[in-house]
Amino acid sequence: MKLFLRLVLIISALLIAACATAPDSGESIQPLTLDTGFPYRPSPEAVYGELPEPFVRLVDLSRLRVGMTKAEVLAIFPDPRTINVSPRGLEVWEYGFAQLHFRNGQLANWFEIGRPRGL
């Protein structure tokens, strides 16, 4: 009798598992997007390409310090390619190799873009 119950349980488990459908491999999971306050734009590398090597070596990101004024940054860096202001008041200076973020006229943060380490 116990053997019969085990067989019934195993067969019913197999039947239930056989009825399950596999997920469609054609469906893709949409990534979660984060609203940054800026409209989508392609990366600076896609728009401008890479900067000439001599120009990249002239600019030293290690000289940047949080809290620097725009005038202090312009004394080190050339004029940015573009300047964008978000609805939240964040001003972003874009270069081909970096983005500098200003809040209330002072440097708040910066990001190096697409430049290999050690250059």
Q: What is the pLDDT of residues 42-64, one digit of tens each?
A: 665 566 666 554 454 456 788 89
Q: Which residue has the tokens 């725009």?
A: 70
Residue type, 74: L
Average of per-residue pLDDT values in the chain? 75
pTM: 0.48
Q: Which residue has the tokens 């090597």?
A: 53
Domain boundaries, the chain: 65-119
Residue 93 CB partners (closer than 8 Å, separation 6+): 73, 80, 82, 83, 99, 100, 101, 102
pLDDT tens digit sequence for 70-99: 999 988 888 888 999 988 889 999 887 788
The residues with which 107 forms a beta bridge, in sequence order, are: 102
